[in-house]
Chains A and B, each alone.
Chain A
């Protein structure tokens, strides 16, 4: 997909002016937050589980090579194949080879952000293979030729009426007089359309929430059951997952599952938690003939051992963006690539370069709400700040900002000069603003006064007044002695 992160400012202005989008974003602000709160309040050990989840992933990342090899051995033992892909291009090539070997014309897909990351749908289409998204939200945005605006609620930027219009536009084989006013009707219609696709598909592609080293199992969680039909019915099941999805044991996966759905949707568990280990065995009632896993790196191993390693703990629950005031204001598409919100602000620069995505870690108030809800306790603001440091070191931020900052810092490092300068400037400013107590416009403060008044200073600075009082006290003391 095209990267529009460099125009984040323009993207966000357009998003703020989009009335439909603003209406839809109201749902993020409301629903997710309250549901998570309720689920968390009902589980006294939630914070202890978060600690545990963090520790499991830290241990795994510190020994990632060992667990990846152990995982591969178990997949092979179960009759599956593991393919290693260092880049998105390699992953696409492997996927195409598998599809071609299966003579695939149609592939069904469970919800997967990694397939977004490698732009799989466009690539398959260019190669004559028809991808069909089976997650309802993904299906809707595929009809609209859009990309997800949220990692677990891909169509959250849309309203019901827009979806109805799309279904009427595309599902022309159905009677025009049908009633689609209720969300359930939309759901039923999508289910009816997709049902046929499951049986037509030659290959089913899913992502993975976890890859379990001890058993070679891949795990997905879904709410619609589409993942199961995607991976069980076609002859070939391909799991496309990034390397950090590994956990050592099933018990570890179970631990992290306890914080995943609660953080994401406020559910105790997702409706379906599906474990897949290898292809169909003799005697199995169903399952694919072939089971492939494509393990994608795409820049992740380069994060190991750096200040961004902790980002690899992310389990893609979406809690950070659900609680982010910036995401609430502009939605996911403004971020300009696959991953929006706070997790995207940290991950995107790692994957596509901070030169292209420099706005993302800067467009944060550092309010810390993301970190406070992250089930994996990822210090997201801290890592955004590290990206700002990298940008500053490389001179990527605007020159006016840099020089302004340098000038201010020069003064801030010299208290006597700083206080002399401010003791002249502030009383003048205070005098000018004394009438109303504020300014509607101030030179050099346009970014502020465009939208709000600038409060006027009271007059003499605090330090100026204290200096005066100290001088008087000293004079008094000397006079007395």
Chain B
């Protein structure tokens, strides 16, 4: 490995389509830890919609694309626990019957990290140089928390932001009800779950809600705004990178 590790940024489909700021924030944060970042053009989505709908053939085809595009980098980093979990924990299983591809998938998976845990656990970051005079709270997205063990890392980095006040909400580790296609397949149940979540968010007394997964963030932001909440919602990377001049997710007010 060269002295400057080469990171391939897997930006995730939701960040690509809905919130490019998160991608640029990720680039800045990774570069700040002494890595070079490249964005391979042959990326689309991690394949979870197909994988979690039982469509293994398409999930595998998409996985092959991703592996081909990223396997030459030293690290593969994604600003999402859910997508990083898919790349890291689920890709090898898609190639059970193909030893050659499985070996490639395992080698690839070993290089994959979620953004915040990459900064802290791999690159040894203990803080960021950002300022934000605001009270924030943090939602633990499920895949990042339970598949990748991301819990302390974002809190550690948030605490290093100058001027920030951090408050915990009740049950930060309970699902927000997004669940990918779940939220449109079972909208009534999803709504009941996110209502409990937004109740806890509002009760926490923070002005800004942060999390590491755009799917969950869009769900919670969408519900908060429908309910008329003033809480603003951002991906944690935006705040850590000091990129808060763009409007928050789902707008203000």
- Co-complex (A, B): yes
A456 and B39 form a contact (CB under 8 A):
no
B252 and A437 form a contact (CB under 8 A):
yes
Residue A303, interface by CB 8 Å? no
Q: A391 contacts which of B17, B51, B54, B221 (Cβ < 8 Å)?
A: B54
User: Interface majority SS on B: helix, strand, loop or mixed?
Assistant: helix
Sample 25 A-B pairs with CB under 8 A, ordered by A number. A329-B192, A365-B179, A365-B180, A367-B142, A367-B175, A372-B146, A385-B54, A388-B52, A389-B55, A401-B181, A405-B53, A405-B55, A406-B55, A415-B41, A415-B69, A438-B225, A452-B194, A453-B226, A453-B250, A457-B17, A458-B19, A458-B21, A460-B20, A461-B16, A461-B17
User: Interface majority SS on A: helix, strand, loop or mixed?
Assistant: helix
* A13-B188, A453-B226 given; A415·B65 CB < 8 A: yes
* A12-B189, A397-B54 given; A452·B41 CB < 8 A: no
Question: In the assembly, what is the distance between CA of A448 and CA of B246, in Å?
Answer: 24
- State the Cβ distance, A382 to closest chain B Cβ, in Å: 9
- State the Cβ distance, A446 to closest chain B Cβ, in Å: 8
Residue A325, interface by CB 8 Å? yes
Other 5 A-B pairs with CB < 8 A, given A362-B186, A415-B41: A13-B188, A365-B179, A365-B182, A369-B142, A438-B250
* A409-B50, A457-B19, A467-B41 given; A363·B222 CB < 8 A: no
- State the Cβ distance, B202 to closest chain A Cβ, in Å: 15
* A369-B174, A457-B18, A457-B19 given; A392·B54 CB < 8 A: yes
Residue B45, interface by CB 8 Å? yes
Residue B187, interface by CB 8 Å? yes
Residues on the A chain within 8 Å of B174, using CB: 325, 367, 369
B189 and A16 form a contact (CB under 8 A):
yes
Residues on the A chain within 8 Å of B186, using CB: 9, 12, 326, 362-363
Quick one: CB contact mask for A406-433 with B, threshold 8 Å, 1 for yes?
A: 1011011101001100100010000000
- State the Cβ distance, A390 to closest chain B Cβ, in Å: 7
Question: In the assembly, what is the distance between CA of A363 and CA of B55, in Å?
Answer: 17
Question: In the assembly, what is the distance between CA of A330 and CA of B186, in Å?
Answer: 12
- Which residue of chain A is the closest to B15 with respect to CB atoms? A462
Residues on the A chain within 8 Å of B222, using CB: 438, 448, 452-455
Residues on the B chain within 8 Å of A13, using CB: 188
Residue B29, interface by CB 8 Å? no
Question: In the assembly, what is the distance between CA of A478 and CA of B250, in Å?
Answer: 41
Residue A466, interface by CB 8 Å? yes
Residues on the A chain within 8 Å of B185, using CB: 362-363, 401, 447
Residue B58, interface by CB 8 Å? yes
Interface residues of A in 353-406 (CB under 8 A from B): 362-369, 371-372, 385, 387-393, 397, 401, 405-406
B-side interface residues, number (CB < 8 Å): 71
A408 and B20 form a contact (CB under 8 A):
no
Interface residues of A in 326-366 (CB under 8 A from B): 326, 328-330, 362-366
Q: When A and B form their complex, which 7 residue pairs have the shortest distance between CB atoms, in order from nearest?
A: A437-B251, A365-B179, A392-B54, A452-B222, A447-B184, A388-B54, A367-B175
- State the Cβ distance, A479 to closest chain B Cβ, in Å: 21
A463 and B251 form a contact (CB under 8 A):
no
- Which residue of chain A is the closest to B186 with respect to CB atoms? A363
Residue B190, interface by CB 8 Å? yes
Residue B137, interface by CB 8 Å? no
Residues on the B chain within 8 Å of A389, using CB: 54-56
A455 and B18 form a contact (CB under 8 A):
yes
A-side interface residues, number (CB < 8 Å): 66
Residue A159, interface by CB 8 Å? no
Q: B191 contacts which of A362, A412, A452 (Cβ < 8 Å)?
A: A452
* A458-B246, A463-B16 given; A325·B175 CB < 8 A: yes
Question: In the assembly, what is the distance between CA of A67 and CA of B44, in Å?
Answer: 51
- State the Cβ distance, A179 to closest chain B Cβ, in Å: 35
B62 and A409 form a contact (CB under 8 A):
yes
Interface residues of B in 172-207 (CB under 8 A from A): 173-175, 177-194, 196
* A415-B41, A451-B187 given; A16·B251 CB < 8 A: no
Residue A450, interface by CB 8 Å? yes
B184 and A453 form a contact (CB under 8 A):
no
B45 and A412 form a contact (CB under 8 A):
yes
Q: A405 contacts which of B19, B49, B142, B250 (Cβ < 8 Å)?
A: B49
Residues on the B chain within 8 Å of A450, using CB: 187, 191
Residues on the A chain within 8 Å of B226, using CB: 440, 451-453
Residue B247, interface by CB 8 Å? yes
Question: In the assembly, what is the distance between CA of A352 and CA of B251, in Å?
Answer: 47
Residue A436, interface by CB 8 Å? yes
Residue B212, interface by CB 8 Å? no
Residue A103, interface by CB 8 Å? no
Residue B8, interface by CB 8 Å? no
B62 and A462 form a contact (CB under 8 A):
no
- State the Cβ distance, B18 to closest chain A Cβ, in Å: 5
Residues on the B chain within 8 Å of A437, using CB: 247-252
Residue A162, interface by CB 8 Å? no
Residue A465, interface by CB 8 Å? yes
Residues on the A chain within 8 Å of B252, using CB: 437
* A415-B65, A447-B185, A453-B225 given; A365·B175 CB < 8 A: yes
